[in-house]
Amino acid sequence: MLTRIAVFVSGGGTNLQAILNEESHGRIRSGKVVLVVSTNEHAGALKRAEYFGVKTCVVNPKECASEAEYNQKLFKVLDENNVNLIVLAGYLHILDNEFVRRYPQAIINIHPSLIPAFCGKGYYGLKVHEEVLKRGVKVTGATVHFVNEIPDGGEIIMQRAVAIRNSDTPEILQRRVMEKVEWVILPKAVELVSRSILLGKKCY
């Protein structure tokens, strides 16, 4: 028995790739990615999923009349695939309270900073790294956390830091955080939470 995982994406899917790589190498043993859901039909993440033979679907919130309609479409595809863990990996849509409450302690997200710094509404993608450099902090990193009704406000599962260099640009820093932190801790957190779901225990 394995935890059945859906990964929500919007873009290129590098974090999805990290998860699928670790799963293929047997380092994610308690869960299996069974579905990739994208907000964007042109997302590179869809091709990555197809390469690994993972089922994909596109549910675009802009094509829905309301958030409630968007939720219902997501609920339908998640139920059809018996999903019990949702991983947000570069997913650029804030899930509403109705959605979050339906999956308590079963949605996790990767955020490119050391929460509680540089997080919350408006902090995503390159914007985070731009703000980190503007503030002149000496370390940054990434955080995997549970998703609740507050953006980036759920319990922290795992964090890792990297030092900031004088030569860093937002783009260089973003790449280093991805390579040294995000692609490492997200698969580890997926395994940890997948195992906790199977055992019915908290992992934090």
Strand partners, 87: 7, 108
Question: Which residue, 180, 107, 185, 100, is CA-closest to 143?
Answer: 185
Q: Has residue 202 got a pLDDT over 80? A: no
Domain-located, residue 17:
yes
**Domain tally for the chain?**
1
Instruction: For 164-197, write each residue's pLDDT tens digit.
Output: 999 999 999 999 999 999 999 999 999 999 999 9
Structural domain harbouring 111: 3-198
- Annotated active-site residue in 42, 111, 129, 145: 111
CA distances to 37, 47, 73, 94, 125 from 122, rounded to whole Å, are 22, 28, 25, 10, 9
Domain-located, residue 163:
yes
**Rg (the chain; Cα; Å):** 16
Rounded CA-CA distance 143/69 in Å is: 30
Domain-located, residue 110:
yes
Question: Annotated catalytic, 111?
Answer: yes
Q: Tokens 């932190």, residue?
A: 181
Domain-located, residue 204:
no
Reported pTM = 0.95
CATH number of the domain within which 114 lies: 3.40.50.170
